[in-house]
């Protein structure tokens, strides 16, 4: 399948998706739709065990919505774009495979929201983050108002969204938005190192771990613990659990098969 707004390749069980609308990689309906379709393809590909998302060029991971295009839309068309955005970001969260955002340059608006939907975020020292929609007379509409406060707490999230200011990588790390900050030249190498390590983990357990954490975060504790118990049970009956425990007892490296 040919992608007009994305680049895609798979190597060593790691899929890399590159937002391909340089120099700023703005988001439009087509990008969101292609993103969702590609994630569906990845879900069905047993050869892919981990995913990296990044942006093309040096200026931006994703600098937000395509404002020039957005200004031409009526309310109904904007609503359809919102649906496409939500489907894409929710598909990242529901993907059975771990997803790493490798962020350089600007991650603003929709770009920041896409990164927030990923499991892990690594950024370069030159990365900048923000949800500046308030300055355009709108609010974040791609999950930012909900995911950011769940990640860093309501007070910090309100500060960033109410003022609409853009913060540097070091501040994003201090707030807990990103997991790690690295020199620009090391960004993709570090993202690939993490992805390769994750790709070697047992697939069933990884899927169950992601379900337990993501779905449990939005429920009260007893329900979340019930979910954890169910996910633990699913992992325990897998072939990989048997291999993992057997390998541990035999003091050898496990050979997981993804079942």
Catalytic residues: 113, 133
Q: Are 164 and 134 in contact (CB under 8 A)?
A: yes
Among 151, 74, 84, which Cα is nearest to 112's?
Answer: 151
Beta strand extents in 148-246 (DSSP E only):
167-168, 180-182
**What is the DSSP code string of 51-63?**
EEEEESSSSEEE-
**Distance separating alpha carbons of residues 118 and 123, to the nearest angstrom:** 13
Edge-to-edge strand order for the sheet containing 167-168?
60-62, 106-108, 128-130, 167-168
- Select from 122, 173, 117, 120 the least CA-distant residue to 144: 117
């Amino acid at each position: 399948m040919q992608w007009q707004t994305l680049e895609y390749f798979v190597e060593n069980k790691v899929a890399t998706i590159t937002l391909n609308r340089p120099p700023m990689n703005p988001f439009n309906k087509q990008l969101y739709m292609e993103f969702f379709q590609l994630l569906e393809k990845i879900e069905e590909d047993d050869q892919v065990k981990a995913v990296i998302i990044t942006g093309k060029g040096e200026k931006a991971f994703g600098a937000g919505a395509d404002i020039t295009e957005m200004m031409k839309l009526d309310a109904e068309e904007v609503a359809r774009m919102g649906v496409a955005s939500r489907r894409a970001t929710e598909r990242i969260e529901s993907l059975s495979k771990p997803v790493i955002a490798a962020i350089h340059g600007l991650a603003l608006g929709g770009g920041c929201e896409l990164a927030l939907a990923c499991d892990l975020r690594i950024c370069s020292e030159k990365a900048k983050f923000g949800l500046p929609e308030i300055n355009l007379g709108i609010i974040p509409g791609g999950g930012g108002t909900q995911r950011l406060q769940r990640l860093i707490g309501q007070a910090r999230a309100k500060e960033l969204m109410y003022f609409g200011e853009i913060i540097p990588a070091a501040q994003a790390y201090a707030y807990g938005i990103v997991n790690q900050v690295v020199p620009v030249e090391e960004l993709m190498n570090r993202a690939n190192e993490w992805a390769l390590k994750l790709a070697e983990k047992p697939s069933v357990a990884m899927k169950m771990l992601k379900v337990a954490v993501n779905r449990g975060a939005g429920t009260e504790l007893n329900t979340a613990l019930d979910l954890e118990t169910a996910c633990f049970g699913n992992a325990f009956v897998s072939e990989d659990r048997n291999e993992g425990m057997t390998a541990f007892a035999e003091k050898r490296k496990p050979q997981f098969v993804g079942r």
